[in-house]
A and B are shown apart, each in its own frame.
Chain A
Amino acid sequence: MSVIRQNLSECIGCGTCVKVCPMDVFRLDVEHSKSVIAYVQNCQTCGQCWLNCPTDSIGLQDAEVSFGINNGR
């Protein structure tokens, strides 16, 4: 259950994915004019980013991404 980057060179840095994501997955790299999939593990695969992306930079996959988080530190 996560967003995926299909092709970073297609991203035009419009910031739409950053704006529409309810889960704070994205950031906008203003200097390079690219979005950043920063917190993929919080993605709920609602697909709003993909639906609203004007290019084909973003995709969706059914695999859930999580990270090996231990009990504490």
Chain B
Amino acid sequence: MNRDHQNHGAKLFAGKDVPRRDFLRGAAVATGATGAMGLVGSSVAMAAAGDEETDGTFAHDAKMTADENGLVPDATTDITYLPRRGEYPTPSVPEPDITEYSCDVLVVGGGLAGLNAAWAAAQAGSNVILVEKATPGYGGLSAWPSCTAFYDPELDADMDLWDQYMRNSCECFANLNWEDAWCAESKSTFQRLCDWGWIQSYPRAADTEYWVDGNIYHDNLKGYKNSVPDRRKVFGEVLDANGVTTLDHVMVTDIIEKDGTCVGAVCLHYQSETVITITAKAVVLATGNGVLKPMGYPIGSDTYDGLWIGYQHGLPVTGLEFEDFHMTTSYAPSNGLTNNAYPYLEPVWPTGGTVTADNLSKNRGVNERYSQCVDGFDLAKNDVTLMDGQENGAAASAASQAGNEDDPRKGKMTSPLPKGHVYGAAIGMSVHTASGIWCGIDDLDCFTGMPGLYAAGDGTNGCYVGGPCYGAQRGSTSSFMSMQGAHAGSAAAAYAATVGDVELPADEVKALQEKALQPTTVEKGFNPEWIREVLHSIMAPNWVNWGGATEATLNAALTNLIELRDQVQGRIYAQNGHALRLAHEVEHMLLVMELKLRVKLERKESRGHHYRRDYPSRDDNYLYYITMTKGADGEVVFGRVELPERWTGDLTADYTVRYPGPQNPLDAKINYPQS
């Protein structure tokens, strides 16, 4: 056997029926802090000493490594190498049999909002189709919530105290109309999720034999997984039980608009590069939030699809200036499972409720996070055993500790999680429920203003239920978006019942079908993965987002972004169905990141999760929602939404009364000298 280990390529693939993977010629690997060294070109597959025949599989190849003696067998079991071993060639995917559909209500997105929208519309008697880019329940963020909150009118604080809590915790910016609806309906929503089987009781991981210390490399994660039900499959079961036609692995690329009315959508079965056209009397967009690269937080399939559609059709969008930055561990920074294994596996604990005078101003941790960024991170925390305390996440609610014995929330908590102490997870993601299509102060129907079009859920309906901050309560997003989805589905069904037969505009549909496949026709241009990398590096630095931007840093980022956009617009190529989905997604990100930078320039103050180092304090001259609408020449037109007095509180009160805590270190120095 030729032991020329200089010529890695030729000797890597000794097995039968497995061809060389061409992509490896260009492969490069960036490693995390675990420092898997020498990966490129290492571990040459050779026969074990004695040159016995292989059987065509790779189980018998010896892994080699290097020490001062040269190449030696690698006896470690630590798997930190490229998937260099040959996979079978990528098979083609057959086209779907059906490429045209018709329905009363089309729901775009199979997360919590979409599931509840489809259920509500079906319950109202509509014929419903749900379209999802992945598999309902397993895509986006809806696979990952750890808790669900509800308000109990008999056990929890009265509405005056609740209002005050929401104002204090959400910087006088929270939508109290939606909060009222949630207080009235969250308990029944919670019950519905229980009845569906999405919320069940079983032991948390830390109380089982599978638990070692919460580090996923130590615990028996699969053992725990096999001992608890999988709540994600509930989504498909509920859809089937309600007669919803579900199209999985289909991506909506645009809605069809006719005379200002939404009449359906054009979609892609992207794996086979097939266009599917759906006629619908009403469409509910429930496409989730968005992110540039997940990097340690599992939201990568959310790519602002619905927000892009709404903006292109002239609807106002809002909330993009508020960033939901996430932390990840420094020892496995881009490994989403490290930080989120137990939120994925454990039961969804009930939480929330019982606001007391003590917790009237929830500590959002915003100032603490910014302080760490400014002052530097504590490198002593680079320790795989460091965990959040027992009182973590869902446990951090008053009802968990102070609720009475009959309260189902009492004593509930999740297992401790690894302490995320490095920033940069989920760059580009907006604060839950702040960003999306703006539907109006009084709207509770999720109606966008375009007849036939509704928007529901985190990142799609910009309703600000948590103001500019990460929610006033842990667990409120999952129950809120379930409730909101039901509102949208009911409203869509009611509207659809008033609509006669819909005929699609043939020319418009043809143009949309061509646009859907356009990246496959581009011969010379740009790879969507490269565009995503460049976009990420423009937006990731802390001086653009959560670490505090300035006029100069935002304009610098915008200059780079505009140059990128202008060069790649219409020239994003897709060599296969997978890349076709990426091409559309990256087009959405290009728009949204531009809007994000522009509105951060526009909002010359700091509030919630929007931090400007050059305007470090809240300025009530900006106590309004900013909207952005596509102008006649394609330019961004800013709008302003004045907020009701009940939401904004007493404008004559002192700054530190209106805002009990500093937003960032500079604000602390200026306005909170005692802290």
Interface residues of A (CB under 8 A from B): 1-9, 19-24, 27-32, 34, 36-42, 44-48, 50-52, 59-73
Nearest CB in chain A: distance from B31 CB, A: 5
- Please, which residues of chain A bring their CB within 8 A of the CB of B90? 27, 36, 38
Q: A39-B578, A51-B345, A72-B526 are in contact. Are A19 and B87 (CB under 8 A)?
A: no
The stretch that binds A, out of B164-172, B328-336, B348-356, B508-516, is B328-336
B533 CB–A CB distance under 8 Å: yes
Given that A23-B301, A42-B578 are known contacts, is A8 also in contact with B134, CB under 8 Å in the complex?
A: no
Given contacts A51-B225, A51-B345, A64-B334, contact A72 B34 (CB under 8 A): no
Also in contact, A70 and B530, with CB within 8 A (given A8-B58, A23-B300, A62-B335)? yes
Please measure, in the bound complex, the distance between the C-alpha atom of A21 and the C-alpha atom of B27, giving whole angstroms: 23
Interface residues of B in 294-326 (CB under 8 A from A): 294-296, 298-301
CA gap between A64 and B296 in the complex, in Å:
11
A16 to B30, CA, bound (A): 28
The answer, among A22, A34, A65, for a CB contact under 8 Å with B143, is A22
Does B36 lie at the interface of the complex (its beta carbon under 8 Å from any beta carbon of A)?
yes
Residues of B at under 8 Å CB distance from A? 23, 26-32, 34, 36, 39, 57-59, 79-83, 85, 87-91, 93, 133-135, 138-140, 143, 216, 221-222, 225, 230, 232, 249, 270-271, 294-296, 298-301, 332, 334-337, 340-341, 344-345, 524-527, 529-530, 533, 571, 573, 578, 581-582
With A22-B134, A48-B138 as contacts: A69 and B341 at CB distance below 8 Å = no
Asked if A64 meets B143 with Cβ closer than 8 Å, knowing A19-B138, A44-B336, the reply is no
- By beta carbon, the residue of chain A nearest B341 is A47
Q: Taking the nearest CB of chain B, how far is it from the CB of A7, in angstroms?
A: 6
Is the CB–CB distance between A30 and B91 below 8 Å?
yes
Asked if residues A67 and B88 are in contact (CB atoms below 8 Å), the reply is: no
Given contacts A51-B222, A60-B335, are A68 and B29 in contact (CB under 8 A)?
no
Closest B residue to A47 by CB, please name it: B337
Which residues does chain B contribute within 8 Å of A63, judged by CB atoms? 29-32, 36, 39, 80-82
11 contacts between A and B (CB under 8 A): A9-B57, A21-B138, A22-B301, A27-B90, A40-B83, A63-B31, A63-B36, A66-B529, A66-B533, A69-B533, A72-B530
Cβ contact within 8 Å between B88 and A34: yes
CB distance from B59 to the nearest CB of A (A): 5
Name the distance in Å between B582's Cβ and chain A's nearest Cβ: 7
Query: Are B30 and A29 in contact, with the CB atoms below 8 A?
Result: no
Residues of A within 8 A of B83 (CB): 2-5, 37, 40, 65
Given the complex, which residues of B lie within 8 Å of A39, measured CB to CB?
578
Is the beta-carbon distance between B59 and A69 smaller than 8 angstroms? Answer: no
A45 touches B139 (CB 8 A): no
Residues of A within 8 A of B93 (CB): 27
Chain A proximity of B223: nearest CB distance (Å): 11
The CA-CA distance from A38 to B299 in the complex, in Å, is 20
Which B residues lie within 8 Å of A69 (CB)?
26, 527, 529-530, 533
Give the nearest-CB partner of B17 in chain A: A32
Name the residue in A1, A5, A20, A23 with the highest tally of chain B Cβ atoms < 10 Å from its Cβ: A1
**Are B30 and A66 in contact (CB-based, < 8 A)?**
yes
CA distance A66 to B529 in the complex (A): 9
CB–CB B335/A51 < 8 A: no
- In the bound assembly, the distance between CA atoms of A46 and B527 in angstroms comes to 24
B298-A46 in contact (CB<8A): yes
> Complex Cα distance A67/B301, Å?
20
Instruction: Give the distance in Å from the alpha carbon of A48 to the alpha carbon of B667 in the complex.
Output: 41
CB-CB under 8 A from B222, the residues of chain A are 51
Known interface pairs A34-B88, A44-B298; A71-B59 also in contact (CB < 8 Å): no
Q: Which residue on chain A has the smallest CB distance to residue B579?
A: A39
A67 to B529, CA, bound (A): 9
Contact partner, B87, options A20, A38, A41, Cβ 8 Å: A38
Complex: A21 Cα to B296 Cα, angstroms = 16
In the assembled complex, the CB of A67 is this many whole angstroms from the nearest CB of chain B, namely 5
Asked, given contacts A27-B90, A68-B27, A70-B530, whether A9 binds B59 with beta carbons under 8 Å apart, the answer is: yes
Contacts of B28 in A (CB 8 A): 66-68
Distance A68 CA – B221 CA, assembled complex (angstroms)? 34
Partner of B81, one of A4, A27, A31, A71: A4
Closest A-B pairs by Cβ, 7 of them: A47-B337, A1-B334, A46-B298, A22-B301, A44-B300, A68-B26, A22-B139
Contacts of A2 in B (CB 8 A): 83
B32 partner, pick from A6, A19, A48, A64, beta carbons under 8 A? A64
**What chain B residues lie within 8 Å of A31 (beta carbons)?**
91
- Verify A20–B336 contact, CB threshold 8 A: no
Assembly CA distance A66 to B27 (angstroms): 7
| A22, A28, A37, A38: the one within 8 Å of B578 (CB) | A38
Given A63-B30, A71-B530, A36:B87 Cβ within 8 A: yes
> Do B23 and A67 touch across chains, with their CB atoms under 8 A apart?
yes
Contact B221 A51, beta carbon cutoff 8 Å: yes
Residues on B with C-beta less than 8 A from A41 are 529
The chain B residue with its CB closest to the CB of A40 is B83
**Distance of A53 Cα from B106 Cα, bound (Å):** 32
Q: In the complex, what residue of chain B is closest to A70 when comparing beta carbons?
A: B530
A61 / chain B contacts, CB cutoff of 8 Å: 36, 79-81
CB distance from A19 to the nearest CB of B (A): 5
Chain A residues in 8 Å Cβ range of B249: 24
In whole Å, how far is B590's beta carbon from the nearest beta carbon of chain A? Answer: 15
Contacts of B216 in A (CB 8 A): 47
Minimum Cβ distance to chain B for residue A73 (Å): 6
Q: How far is the CB of A5 from chain B (nearest CB, A)?
A: 5
